[in-house]
Structure 1
Amino acid sequence: MENSLALAVDLGGSGGKLFVGSLENGKASFTPIYQFKNRIVIVKGRAYWDFLHIFDEIKTGYAVAQREFGGQIQSMAIDAWCNDYALLTKNGTMLETPRNYRDSRTEGWIERADELMPKFEVYQRTGQQFARFETCYHLLAQKEQDGDILSLAQDLLFVPDYLSYLMGAQKYTEYTIASVTNLYNILENKWDDDIFRAYGLRQDLFSPIVYPGDKVGRVSQEICEEMHTAAADIYAAGAHDTASAVAATPAQGDDDFLFISSGTWSLVGAELKEPIMTKASMEAGFGNEGGVQNRVRYIRNVMGLWILQECVRVWKQQGKEYTFAGLADMASKVQCDGAFIDPDDERLFEPTDMPDVVAQMCKESGYVPKNDVELVRIITQSLACKYRYVVEKIETLTNRSYDGIHVIGGGSQNGFLNQLTADFTGKKILAGPADATGIGNILTQWIGRGLLKDLNEARAVCARSCDIREYIPSCHQDVDGQYELFLQTTKLK
Structure 2
Amino acid sequence: MSGPAPVRVAAVDLGATSGRVMAGRVGERILQLDEVHRFPNGGVRARGGLFWDVLGIHREVLAGLRTVARTGPLHGIGIDSWAVDYGLLDRDGLLLGNPYSHRDARTDGVMEQVLQTVSGPELYATTGLQQLPFNTIYQLVAARGTAALESAESLLLLPDLLGYWLTGTVGAERTNASTTQLYDVRAREWALDLAKRLGIPWAVLPPLRDAGDRVGPLLPEVAHHLGVGEEVPVIAVASHDTASAVVAVPAQDEAFAYISSGTWSLVGLELDEPVLSEAARLADFTNEGGIDGTVRFLRNVTGLWVLSECLRAWGDDRATRVELHTLLAAATDAPAARTVVDVNDPRLLPPGTGAHDAMPARIVRLAEEAGEPIPRTPVAVTRCILDSLALAYRRQLRTAAELAGRRVEVVHVVGGGSQNELLCQLTADACELPVLAGPAEAAALGNVLVQARTLGAGVPDLASMRDLVRRTHDVRQHLPRAGVDWDAAESRLPLKDGGLPV
Please tell me whether the aligned partners of residues 6 and 28 of structure 2 are also in contact (alpha carbons under 8 angstroms).
no
Q: Within 5 Å, which residues of 2 pair with 1:74-89?
A: 74-89=75-90
Alpha-carbon distance in structure 2 between the residues aligned to 1:411 and 1:43: 31
Please tell me whether the aligned partners of residues 338 and 486 of structure 1 are also in contact (alpha carbons under 8 angstroms).
no
Q: Within 5 Å, which residues of 2 pair with 1:14-29?
A: 14-29=17-32
For 2:12, the equivalent position in structure 1 comes to 9
RMSD between superposed Cα atoms in Å:
1.8
**One-letter identity of the residue aligned with 1:93:** L
For 1:360, the equivalent position in structure 2 comes to 365
Give the superposition deviation at 1:238: 0.5
Give the superposition deviation at 1:317: 1.9
Shift in CA distance, 169/94, structure 1 to aligned 2, threshold 3 Å? closer
Match of 1:492 among 476, 479, 501: 501
For 1:415, the equivalent position in structure 2 comes to 421
Moved more, 260-269 or 48-57: 48-57
Give the superposition deviation at 1:366: 4.1
Please tell me whether the aligned partners of residues 79 and 241 of structure 1 are also in contact (alpha carbons under 8 angstroms).
yes
- Is 2:40 the counterpart of 1:37? yes
Please tell me whether the aligned partners of residues 247 and 440 of structure 1 are also in contact (alpha carbons under 8 angstroms).
yes
Q: 1:33-83: CA deviations, max 9, x gaps?
A: 2111101112233111111111100000000111122xx110010000111
For 2:477, the equivalent position in structure 1 comes to 470
Alpha-carbon distance in structure 2 between the residues aligned to 1:95 and 1:25: 44
Q: Within 5 Å, which residues of 2 pair with 1:239-318?
A: 239-253=239-253, 255=254, 257-318=256-317
- Identity of aligned pairs, percent? 35
Give the superposition deviation at 1:203: 1.3
**One-letter identity of the residue aligned with 1:444:** V
Alpha-carbon distance in structure 2 between the residues aligned to 1:330 and 1:148: 53
For 1:454, the equivalent position in structure 2 comes to 461
Q: 1:431-453: CA deviations, max 9, x gaps?
A: 11000000000111112222221
Alpha-carbon distance in structure 2 between the residues aligned to 1:363 and 1:129: 28
Please tell me whether the aligned partners of residues 144 and 199 of structure 2 are also in contact (alpha carbons under 8 angstroms).
no
Structure 1: unaligned runs, 5 residues or longer: none
TM-score, normalisation: structure 2 = 0.94
Q: Within 5 Å, which residues of 2 pair with 1:5-154?
A: 5-69=8-72, 72-144=73-145, 147-154=146-153
Q: 1:203-237: CA deviations, max 9, x gaps?
A: 11011111100011122221233344555210000
Alpha-carbon distance in structure 1 between the residues aligned to 2:142 and 2:445: 35
Give the superposition deviation at 1:177: 1.1
Give the superposition deviation at 1:480: 2.6
Alpha-carbon distance in structure 1 between the residues aligned to 2:483 and 2:48: 46
Q: Within 5 Å, which residues of 2 pair with 1:309-388?
A: 309-319=308-318, 320-335=320-335, 337-352=337-352, 353-364=358-369, 365-388=371-394
Please tell me whether the aligned partners of residues 336 and 374 of structure 1 are also in contact (alpha carbons under 8 angstroms).
no
**One-letter identity of the residue aligned with 1:251:** A
Give the superposition deviation at 1:491: 8.0
Please tell me whether the aligned partners of residues 182 and 195 of structure 2 are also in contact (alpha carbons under 8 angstroms).
yes
Please tell me whether the aligned partners of residues 43 and 51 of structure 2 are also in contact (alpha carbons under 8 angstroms).
yes
Alpha-carbon distance in structure 2 between the residues aligned to 1:437 and 1:322: 29
For 2:206, the equivalent position in structure 1 comes to 207
Please tell me whether the aligned partners of residues 169 and 234 of structure 1 are also in contact (alpha carbons under 8 angstroms).
no
Equivalent residue of 1:311, what SS?
helix
- Is 2:422 the counterpart of 1:405? no
Alpha-carbon distance in structure 1 between the residues aligned to 2:290 and 2:296: 6
Please tell me whether the aligned partners of residues 49 and 104 of structure 2 are also in contact (alpha carbons under 8 angstroms).
yes
Q: How many residues align?
A: 488
Alpha-carbon distance in structure 2 between the residues aligned to 1:324 and 1:235: 37
Give the superposition deviation at 1:327: 2.1
Give the superposition deviation at 1:256: 5.1
